[in-house]
Amino acid sequence: MAKNNEGGHKEIGQQDIDQAYNKLKQDAEEGGYFLNPDVEFTKALIRGLLVNEQRYGYGACPCRLASCIRQEDLDIICPCDYRDIDINQFNACFCGLYVSADAANGKKTINSIPERRPNIEERRKIQEMKEMKEAKGKNEQTALPKLPIWRCKVCGYLCAREEPPDICPICKVTKDRFERFM
Ligand code: SF4
């Protein structure tokens, strides 16, 4: 019988973690991403995600402090806004849940990854600026620098990021089949 913890939530068991792990691994592979090959470590992170889903109602990053307000935490709902750029630069996301192909294959090691999420004051300022721009009827503008656009020469998939993905999430071709689109 399912047990409830002190918060009235169903306790997260090993079966829940294993199921979530299998689903995340399948989704990652289908999308051209890789989970950390250290399964025990990865499952510990997934447990954190499941706890956060129960606690907040959304899967906030297990390595960051969430606010309990979904709108304020949109950028850190897993996979967070910073995943791809951290994988490109450091071979892993901030938590180390997702890694690059090279890290997954043991060709690169993962070291500590600096936090690139702006602090709360910066985020508030960014939000205020966005709202001001929107109020003036201007195009929405994010605080992130403009990124190059990459086009998959095989299927036409477009993405804006520092470098093309290791594997096209649509047709699964490798990075060298991408070209700069603009
Ligand atoms: S750092 Fe990794 S685990 Fe944390 S939210 Fe981003 S993608 Fe998910």
Burial string for 30-39 (b: 16+ CB within 10 Å, else e) reads: eebbbbbeee
Residue 98 beta carbon below 6 angstroms from any ligand 1 atom:
yes
71-95 average pLDDT score: 92
pLDDT confidence tier of residue 2, bands split at 50, 70 and 90 = very low
CB 126 within 8 A of CB 105: no
Q: How is residue 51 written in tokens? A: 């706890």
pLDDT value for 144: 57
Report the C-alpha gap between 137 and 115 in whole angstroms.
32
Q: How is residue 50 written in tokens? A: 């499941």
CB proximity list for 46: less than 8 A, separation 6 or greater: 17, 20, 21, 24, 97
pLDDT tens digits, residue range 104-115?
999 999 999 999
List strand residue ranges (DSSP E) for 56-160, in order: 98-99, 149-152, 158-160
- Report helix, strand or coil for 88: helix
Report the C-alpha gap between 165 and 182 in whole angstroms.
17
How many angstroms separate the alpha carbon of residue 137 from the centre of ligand 1? Answer: 33
- Report helix, strand or coil for 47: helix
pLDDT value for 22: 97
Check pLDDT > 80 for residue 35.
yes
Return the higher-pLDDT residue of 169 and 114: 114
Q: Please identify, by atom number, the ligand 1 atom nearest to the C-alpha of residue 94.
A: 1
Q: Among 41, 61, 81, name the best residue to mutate to test ligand 1's pocket (greatest count of ligand atoms within 8 A of Cβ).
A: 61
For the entire predicted model, the pTM comes to: 0.76
Report the C-alpha gap between 9 and 31 in whole angstroms.
31
Check pLDDT > 90 for residue 174.
no
How many angstroms separate the alpha carbon of residue 121 from the centre of ligand 1? Answer: 21
